[in-house]
Structure 1
């Protein structure tokens, strides 16, 4: 005598449909993973150029305007949305007409999307504007055509007389006219006696 029980569903067609859907999802999920494995194992490079200890200078009328320095650059131009990756970080310096450095930005990782003319800096992002204000965050996006810089992450702005923190940030591309969307924490002000 067997102790097993048969469970009879009230809606057998619904049970079959759910089971079929589950098998289909599993099959397509595995098929997609297999295609990804085939792509990676085919040896096809998704990038056309890779450089180490790369330095680029942008000048206008023999005056240096920007300088970009990175330990590693990879140009992914064989993907749907081409970009340049800086996997080991980047430093960009801005210069005035006297070729004095007036501003800079550094990060441990960055990408540049050429079609959108958009920079994404991540991990330990530090930007300094011409007034000497320092912005620290974990993500910063610069849209060149809109001349706009923003972040949705926690930010800290260090000025000569105060420290301002909050979540969310936007500014012009020179970090001159900025605002924090949701200010947080104490505001420290040095008082002269």
Structure 2
């Protein structure tokens, strides 16, 4: 039978505790980014961006984690409403996740991203970014824009948040359909 002196056992246990205690405290995030444990967490989170007393956008999330050293808010199950210069809402964005850079108020939306305007235009993608300084939405991912019965798809999207004028850079496909008038069912 092997025996170890008590001092050796204590030294091994002390060393093991010291090594395990010095490991970095990280928590997995839904995005897989492996960010540090949040400085603050909130449920039913709301963040509003204003300019000269005018509301530009409001973000709601079921959960948000704030990382002070990165000036980052990682929000889950998000809805963002964009407002015009008269304070009227003109579009709503929904996504599984939203990342907010608190220095610039740039946003990144990920997972089942959808924008719906008050005029009924919709845009769907896996991810997009809101560039706050220039008030533009951009995405390099595949996008699908639907207006009435017309559908445009492609990659390299850029637009204002009202989706009135948008640009798609590559692999653009469009399906344009005439409106069906009452009683005229001969057209698709």
With normalisation by structure 1, the TM-score equals 0.66
Match of 2:23 in 1: 38
| Partner residue of 1:192 out of 180, 185, 188 | 180
1:67 to 1:143, Cα distance in 2 relative to 1, 3 A: closer
Larger Rg: 1
- 5+ residue gaps, structure 2: 1-18, 27-35, 182-188
| Partner residue of 2:78 out of 90, 93, 112 | 90
| Partner residue of 2:41 out of 46, 50, 56 | 50
Q: Deviations over 1:20-72 (max 9, x none)?
A: xxxxxxxxxxxxxx9xx81127xxx6432110122345678998664322100
| Partner residue of 1:74 out of 45, 50, 65 | 65
In structure 1, how many angstroms separate the alpha carbons of the residues matched to 2:142 and 2:50?
Answer: 34
1:126 to 1:85, Cα distance in 2 relative to 1, 3 A: same
Secondary structure, in 3 states, of the residue corresponding to 2:38? coil
1:93 to 1:116, Cα distance in 2 relative to 1, 3 A: closer
The aligned length equals 153
In structure 2, how many angstroms separate the alpha carbons of the residues matched to 1:69 and 1:182?
Answer: 33
| Structure in which a larger fraction of residues adopt helix | 1
Match of 1:7 in 2: none
Match of 2:134 in 1: 146
1:61 to 1:84, Cα distance in 2 relative to 1, 3 A: closer
- Is 1:158 the counterpart of 2:146 in the alignment? yes
With normalisation by structure 2, the TM-score equals 0.67
CA RMSD of aligned residues (A): 3.0
Match of 1:119 in 2: 107
Secondary structure, in 3 states, of the residue corresponding to 1:69? strand
- 5+ residue gaps, structure 1: 1-33
Summarize the alignment of residues 3-42 of structure 1 with structure 2, pairs less than 5 Å apart. Answer: 38-40=23-25
* Contact 1:103–1:129 (Cα < 8 Å) also in 2: yes
